[in-house]
Structure 1
Amino acid sequence: MTAKEKQKITFPYMFVLKIIAVIITVMVYNTFFESKKSELLSQIFRGVNTFLIPSIVISILRFVIISIYNARHANRSVRGNFVLGINRLTAIINTVLLVIALMVAFGINPIQFVTSLTIVAMAIAVLFRDYITNMLSGLFVMFSEQLSVGDRIKVGEHKGRIVDITFANIILQNEEDDMVMVPNNLVFTNSMVNLSAHRSNLFTVKFELPLSVATDIETLEKEIQSVLINHPNLDENTEPKIHVVDIGKDFVRYKIELYAISSSNKLHREIENEVLREILIFEHSKTKVS
């Protein structure tokens, strides 16, 4: 599915329901309740329309903005999450309108209410500072061109494909198919690598061996080279070499840098599985002998 197909606008059921609700509310109030001059009914009526009418206007603006954006970028590939950001921002505004509408319906003046709770609001802002900064960071990510849903990224020690971006987290699907929720603040406070922005034919296979097996690494290197030397999906001009990454108490970590014929992540994973399978066979044979 292309990005254009993903952004295809579906039938606006909620927009139509809002318009119908406004029409019904006005008709019912004018027909049955206007003559009764009920203050409570008037407040409820104003509260309902305080939410519905601005929400309809916002929905129209959202539709126009997204349509203009899609029209401008119809003929080129677009990175970023502009449409996602607009949808999330619309949800926030609708939530604020709903709270204001409830205040109006119960006869509470929103301006006076906010003014009287200024000190409390400051205390809440301090208590929920991390969540607020996370939310703002999420908005920056949504409207930026640096990240997009579907990108493979590495943030700190977390690595995976972006499944969704919320106000609180970036949801990653890692190589074990686990869902990892990374706080949005980590994107701005840690080094972040977008592995999909500039895809490379170079990839790395990492593995570790127990010390009892690691002493015969030259044999393993020759066996891996024999498997990969004429591999149809690898650059024939590069020879796979095993490099030591770290030495622990009872293990040694290694890495092998390989150049594939393309930047396909699927292809890289297939070659990596072949290498790891050969390493498992080697480790099993050495363990069996010992």
Structure 2
Amino acid sequence: MNNTAQDRKLSFSFILKIVAWLAINYSFIGLQAIYKQPYISQIAVALNTILTASILISIGQYILVMLYRRKHAYEKVRGNFILGIGRMATVLNAVFIIIALMVALGIDPKEFITSMTIVAMAIAVTFREYITNMISGLIIMFSDQFSIGDHIKIGDNHGKIVDITLANLVVRNEDDDAVLVPNNLVFTTTLVNKSSQKTNRLLVPFELPLTANLPMGEIENAIRGQLKHNPSVVWDESFELKVHAIGKDYIKYKVFITTNAATNKLHRNLEGEVLHAVLQRMQGVRID
């Protein structure tokens, strides 16, 4: 769903909440007779609590997002702040729904919270991992270190961030699997954000078997031939092919290319062209 369609959906739901809120508040004045039954009155107050809180939270969310977008109108805006505001709005709505349910059941929220203090501490200890994950998730959402769409490497997992929840990062790896990385892991292990390296210098690693017997000159000529008509490659700058490591039965290479832009899409396309050139060159080589 695009932003316009999503905004229309949110506007329609907001209008429905306003209409329902006005109807309930009108009924408190014009239809007092129906509230002589205590349960009906409690349910109406609970619904009014939910709608009032939801409307105020939606207004606050809209104002904060609008101010954020206006402030970053001429900058590259990362979506973490907006995502964090949305998650906080969800949490606050959930809290007020619980309070409203207490009101509907005739339970005083203040007395309930006071009497449940010890139980709440026990719950906090039991679910401390989830609570710390949730706090870590909120910190991540309001940070600018990485965002949805960035390519990261964390531990043994690497791929594209497709979602950030209160419990984990959802990373789509090269096998198109959705890997759930706990938010706490972001602060306890090394994380590499490959998308944050906004540089025109592109590094493409690859490896070949020793039995391929491909001279470096032939590999370099194959890559140059593949990229020579690509307008994104800056040939006046350094183009370099290096041997990175030699193993028992393989050689690891690194190709350095200078481009005229630093977008992730461009770099991925060029990386694909480099690997394609190497594979094409290998197909014409006899493997011993």
- Find 1:228's aligned residue among 223, 231, 235: 223
Pairwise CA distance, 1:62 = 1.8
Distance 1:267 1:52 in 2: 47
Amino acid corresponding to residue 47 of structure 1 in structure 2: A
What SS is found at the alignment partner of 1:12?
helix
Once structures 1 and 2 are overlaid, which stretch shifts more, 61-70 or 42-51? 61-70
Distance 1:35 1:153 in 2: 59
Give the corresponding residue for 1:258: 256
Give the corresponding residue for 1:72: 71
Trace 1:21-100 onto structure 2 (pairs within 5 A): 21-32=20-31, 34=33, 37-79=36-78, 81-100=80-99
Cα deviation code 1:76-126 (max 9, x no counterpart): 333352221111111100000001100100011112222222222222212
8 Å Cα contact 2:222-2:281 kept in structure 1: no
RMSD between superposed Cα atoms in Å: 3.0
Pairwise CA distance, 1:164 = 1.9
Cα deviation code 1:181-217 (max 9, x no counterpart): 22212221122222222322333434445xxx41555
Distance 1:235 1:158 in 2: 34
Amino acid corresponding to residue 40 of structure 1 in structure 2: Y
% same residue: 42
Once structures 1 and 2 are overlaid, which stretch shifts more, 48-57 or 87-96? 48-57
Give the corresponding residue for 1:200: 199
Distance 2:143 2:224 in 1: 43
Amino acid corresponding to residue 254 of structure 1 in structure 2: K
The normalised TM-score by structure 1 is: 0.81
Distance 1:75 1:260, change over 3 A: closer
Pairwise CA distance, 1:57 = 1.7
Aligned pairs, number: 279
Amino acid corresponding to residue 152 of structure 2 in structure 1: I
Distance 1:43 1:266 in 2: 56
Distance 1:229 1:64, change over 3 A: closer
Amino acid corresponding to residue 239 of structure 1 in structure 2: E
Give the corresponding residue for 1:162: 161
8 Å Cα contact 1:152-1:194 kept in structure 2: yes
Pairwise CA distance, 1:52 = 1.3
8 Å Cα contact 1:228-1:234 kept in structure 2: no
Once structures 1 and 2 are overlaid, which stretch shifts more, 142-151 or 227-236? 227-236
Distance 2:273 2:79 in 1: 35
Distance 1:198 1:204 in 2: 11
Once structures 1 and 2 are overlaid, which stretch shifts more, 104-113 or 73-82? 73-82
What SS is found at the alignment partner of 2:195?
coil
Distance 2:35 2:183 in 1: 53
8 Å Cα contact 1:154-1:194 kept in structure 2: yes
What SS is found at the alignment partner of 2:217?
helix
What SS is found at the alignment partner of 1:269?
helix
Distance 2:76 2:268 in 1: 26
Distance 1:152 1:146, change over 3 A: same
Distance 2:135 2:120 in 1: 17
The answer on 1:214 being equivalent to 2:215 is: no
Gaps of 5+ in 2: none
Give the corresponding residue for 1:150: 149
What SS is found at the alignment partner of 2:83?
helix
The answer on 1:241 being equivalent to 2:236 is: no
8 Å Cα contact 2:210-2:251 kept in structure 1: no
Distance 2:136 2:159 in 1: 19
Give the corresponding residue for 1:183: 182
Give the corresponding residue for 2:119: 120
Distance 1:191 1:6, change over 3 A: farther
What SS is found at the alignment partner of 1:147?
coil
Distance 1:254 1:135, change over 3 A: same
